[in-house]
Amino acid sequence: MDIKKHNLSQFAQDFYGFTEKKNSTAKNPCLTNGSDTIVIKRQQDGNYTFWSPTSKHKGSIIDLAMWQENVSMTQACRIVYRRISGHTQSADTAKTPAPKHLEPVKEFDRAKVEQLIPVKSLPYLESRGIDNVDHGRFQGTVFTDKHHNAVFPHKNAHDEIVGYAMKNAEFNGFSPGGSKSVWKSNQYDKDNLLVITESAIDALSYAKMLNKHDPKQFFNTRFISTEGAFSPEVKDLIAAEIASMPENAKVIGAFDNDDQGWKYASELKDMCSTLNRQCRTDIPRVKGYDWNDVLGKSLEREESPEKKQEAGQEQEQELKEEMTCRM
């Protein structure tokens, strides 16, 4: 029995208490059991593999069992075989309907990429306080589709679109069959700062505040978002981006103020240390906030007539504090 071809996502749910996370996709199921998180991929040879963004664990179904059971490889093989023998299920021969995230992997529909329309503005983005899409830094990087979603293409190392994030009111999705890599703003030779966020919405929000606080620096800043993915492939893309910039360029990890955001920040610092580049972390002060939340609160203060009179230097100081490293 080729146990590595057994549906790893179902195995993790059946025996280790994992459940699907909201950012899970058909191609790369993302699961958590409360303390650990795993992302699963089906390789071209039919074997399933996983990697954990919350630890250094990765590998096959055997490696998962070794990790979760704290046993040797031989013991793990026996445990896995015993558990799946008699009811082996693959994505092709399932006897019962598979949950949504276990459906056969769909191919990325590249024809839909050709149907995307670049935008200069979008009602949904404006409702989030974002009105800088038409700036030269972002022209041609934000699109819309027939459903009027905000669409952010993800490209691989060859600058090919391999997937895209879709955002709208009460909707957060990713292209079926697509791969999460990175969304990037436009890049210029004189750029000396790279800001990395968890979403393109956060990148645009951070950019708007940076432009207000330090227009000169904003002019020389490029942005990347990972859509919450920090896989080995994404790390390689980020490392290549950092290495392509001048040696004196700096990196800012502008992640969310939650446990995962701080973990991303720590991993980014390690990457920059390896590359011998300066890196700092800029996290919203309020627990649970991302940078669009910060932008929204900033705009609320500006629109309040009562607080306009009190703002002045105090409001400017608050903005500076919001844009200050917390690590």
Residue found under tokens 């981006």? 241
Across the beta sheet with 58-59, what order do the strands follow?
19-20, 30-32, 37-42, 48-51, 58-59
- pLDDT tens sequence across 225-275: 998 778 788 899 999 999 999 999 999 999 999 988 998 999 999 999 999
pTM (whole model) above 0.85: no
Confidence at residue 309, expressed as pLDDT on a 0 to 100 scale:
59
Confidence at residue 105, expressed as pLDDT on a 0 to 100 scale:
45
Per-domain residue ranges of the chain = 3-102, 111-322
Rounded-to-integer distance, Cα 32 and Cα 18, Å:
5
Q: Is the predicted pLDDT of residue 98 greater than 80, yes or no? A: no
- pLDDT tens sequence across 113-148: 999 999 999 999 999 999 999 999 999 999 999 999
Q: Is the predicted pLDDT of residue 104 greater than 50, yes or no? A: no
- pLDDT range class, residue 101, cuts 50, 70, 90: very low
For range 291-313, the mean pLDDT: 77
Confidence at residue 132, expressed as pLDDT on a 0 to 100 scale:
96
- pLDDT tens sequence across 51-74: 998 888 999 999 999 998 888 888
Confidence at residue 28, expressed as pLDDT on a 0 to 100 scale:
81
Fold of 3-102: DNA Primase; Chain A (3.90.580)
Q: Is the predicted pLDDT of residue 106 greater than 60, yes or no? A: no
How far from 261 is each of 25, 199, 266, 291, CA to CA, in Å?
Answer: 20, 12, 9, 12
- pLDDT range class, residue 88, cuts 50, 70, 90: very low
Q: What angle do CA 65, 104, 148 make, to 5 degrees?
A: 115
SS3 of residue 47 by DSSP? coil
CATH number of 111-322: 3.40.50.920
- pLDDT tens sequence across 147-200: 999 999 999 999 999 999 999 988 888 887 788 899 999 999 999 999 999 999
- pLDDT tens sequence across 277-288: 999 999 999 999
Classify residue 117 by burial, with Cβ atoms within 10 Å: 0-12, 13-18, 19+: exposed
Confidence at residue 87, expressed as pLDDT on a 0 to 100 scale:
38
- pLDDT tens sequence across 21-54: 876 777 788 998 877 889 999 888 888 999 998 8
Q: Across all residues in the chain, what is the average pLDDT?
A: 84
Confidence at residue 35, expressed as pLDDT on a 0 to 100 scale:
75
Q: Is the predicted pLDDT of residue 99 greater than 70, yes or no? A: no
